Amino acid sequence: MCPHAPRSLSVERVAEARLPTEVGEFRIAGYRSLESPEEFVVLYKGEMRPEVPTLVRIHSQCLTGDVFGSMKCDCGRQLRRAMEMIEREGRGAIVYQQQEGRGIGIINKIRAYALQDQGADTVEANERLGLGVDLREYKQCAEVLFDLGLCQVKVMSNNPLKLQALEEAGLQIAERVQLAVETPKCAEQYLRTKKEKLGHLLEFNL
Ligand SMILES: [Zn+2]
C-alpha cells in the first residue's frame, strides 16, 4: 500500500471486465463514489504494483473531442496517445473522469462554444457564463489508482494543477510524461489560452 494513501477510500470498484480495443487489449473497471452520484471508469493494462512507477492519465471526459473528433481541442488525440503509450509499455492506467468541459457539463460547454464563435476565448467564455474556469476535483481519481494498487506514477499530463492535486492526494509522482500530439489548426487559440491563462506546460510556440 502507498504510505500517504487515505486509510479508507471514498470510491468502490463495482464492475470489471476485459476490453479489447483497436489499440490493444485492456481491462476496464467501473467505480462508484460513496459520497456523490459520480462514477469513474478506469482502463488499465498489466500488473499494478505500488513500487513500480506506472504510466497513468486522468482523462477528463470531452464528448466533442473523444467521440466526435472535434478540432476545437486535442482531448481525443491525447486519450488515444495515452492508450498507445500504455500499450507499448505493457502497463498503465487511464482514469476517465466524467466531468465534461472541465466540470461545467455538456450544455454549458456548447453555450461556451457559442460565445467562442463570437470571439471569446475558453476562459472568458466560462467567466461570461458565470461558471468557474476549472471545477474538477481529482481526489477520487487518485483513490481509484490506490485501489488498483498503484503508488508511484508517471503522469501523462500537461496540467500542473492536476499533478499537484494527485500529489496532495498521496500519490508519488515519479515523472511527468509529455503527451505530444499533433495540434489541429483550429485548436491553436484554445491551446494558447490554456498555456497562457491556465498555466499548462505546453512545449510549443504558436
Ligand atoms: Zn476537448
Q: Give the Å distance between the CA of 60 and the centre of ligand 1.
A: 8
Per-residue model confidence (pLDDT) at position 184: 67
Residue in 32, 91, 134, 192 annotated catalytic: 134
In the chain, which residues have pLDDT < 50? 205-206
Q: What is the pTM for the complete model shown? A: 0.87
Q: Give the Å distance between the CA of 149 and the centre of ligand 1.
A: 29
Active site residue 66: no
Residues 6+ apart with CB under 8 A from 97: 40, 58, 59, 60, 61, 136, 138, 141
Cell 502497463 belongs to residue: 91
Per-residue model confidence (pLDDT) at position 206: 42
Q: Give the Å distance between the CA of 18 and the centre of ligand 1.
A: 26
Tell me the pLDDT tens digit for each residue of 14-65. Answer: 999 999 999 999 999 999 999 988 899 999 999 999 999 999 999 999 999 9
Active site residue 134: yes
Residue 185 buriedness (CB in 10 A; 0-12 / 13-18 / 19+): exposed
Correct CATH for 11-97+136-197 of 3.40.50.300, 3.30.420.40, 3.20.20.150, 3.40.50.10990: 3.40.50.10990
Per-residue model confidence (pLDDT) at position 205: 46
Domain extent listing, the chain: 11-97+136-197, 100-135
Q: Give the Å distance between the CA of 33 and the centre of ligand 1.
A: 24
